[in-house]
Amino acid sequence: MSNVTTGLQTCRVLLEDVSLGEAVPKAQRARAIEECVAGVVQIPRGSWNGFRTELPGGVGLLVLNGLLIRQVGIGLGYGAELLGEGDLLRPWQEQDAQSALPHTTGWRVLEPTRLAVLDRPAAQRFAYYPELTGRLVARALERSRNLAVNMAIVQQSRVWTRLHMLMWHLANRWGYVRPEGVILPLRLTHSVLSDLVAARRPSVSVTLSEMAKADLVRRIPEGWLLTGAPPGELLELQPPGQPGAAHEATPVRSR
């Protein structure tokens, strides 16, 4: 399939992804917004096959909004990665990769998700604005840094520490400040959190109950409320210049 945008609804990518559009100089931005269009795929909640069709010559799938989790299992061990707005995906690439360790990869859509399909025609349109390439590469590198932090978090011995660090790590990207504390507006279930911290769900449920009694983390309609200060261990994991927590009244995004 040379052009997966055929028959799909299209969108102005830079209008929906404002941060990406800001990479283009102001003098060229209005034109770039009109020209940088791409097809859109909408995915409902539930399991997802990872968009098996490869995009020859394309960039990948850009998350416009929504929330997904990628799970990788090797034997009895597993890992998970939370992905959302602004992340760039190439699911077919890992499906075709050769590995000395047999593993399984699964995708689950936690919130209805919209993806911009940056196939070859879209990539050609984006190529007129080199700053967009730099911004997309920066996001890919940022995703790898976040994954490294996640790996460090799951190495902590106590489930309490893992959950506390994970919540603040996620708040660094998605959280915003309210008078009562930092809101993490993600409706993450105990099952999803257990995947993210590599712990059994019953242990996560018990620990979250204990953390709520300690007035550190509790569930609210919007998602989760974090109070107090982020754990010191998390601050040590942040690279130089990376903010350690949410400090503004609007969502704090690292991009």
Same-domain status, 81 and 136: yes
What pLDDT was estimated at residue 91?
85
Domain region containing 25? 10-153
What pLDDT was estimated at residue 55?
74
Same-domain status, 139 and 183: no
Same-domain status, 191 and 66: no
Residue 143, Cβ neighbours under 10 Å: how many? 17
Is 53 within the bounds of a domain? yes
Q: Which of 105, 130, 153 is the last residue of a domain?
A: 153
For 236-245, b where at least 16 C-beta lie within 10 A, e where not — what string?
ebbeeeeebb
Same-domain status, 21 and 78: yes
Q: Do 164 and 201 touch, CB atoms closer than 8 A?
A: no
11 CB-near residues (< 8 Å, 6+ apart): 37, 38, 40, 64, 116
Q: Give burial (CB, 10 Å; 0-12/13-18/19+) of 117.
A: buried
Is 252 within the bounds of a domain? no
pLDDT tens digits for range 77-135: 678 899 999 999 988 876 555 555 445 678 999 999 999 999 999 999 999 999 999 99
d(CA 187, CA 232): 25
Q: Does the pLDDT value for residue 167 go beyond 60? A: yes
Q: CA Rg, the chain, in Å?
A: 19
Gap between the terminal Cα atoms of the chain? 32
Q: Does the pLDDT value for residue 189 go beyond 90? A: yes
Show the tokens assigned to 102.
């047999």
91 phi and psi angles, rounded to 5 deg: -60, -35
Task: Find the mean pLDDT for residues 185-201.
Answer: 94
Alpha-carbon dihedral 90, 92, 93, 98, rounded to 10 degrees: 150
Same-domain status, 39 and 75: yes
The structural domain count of the chain equals 2
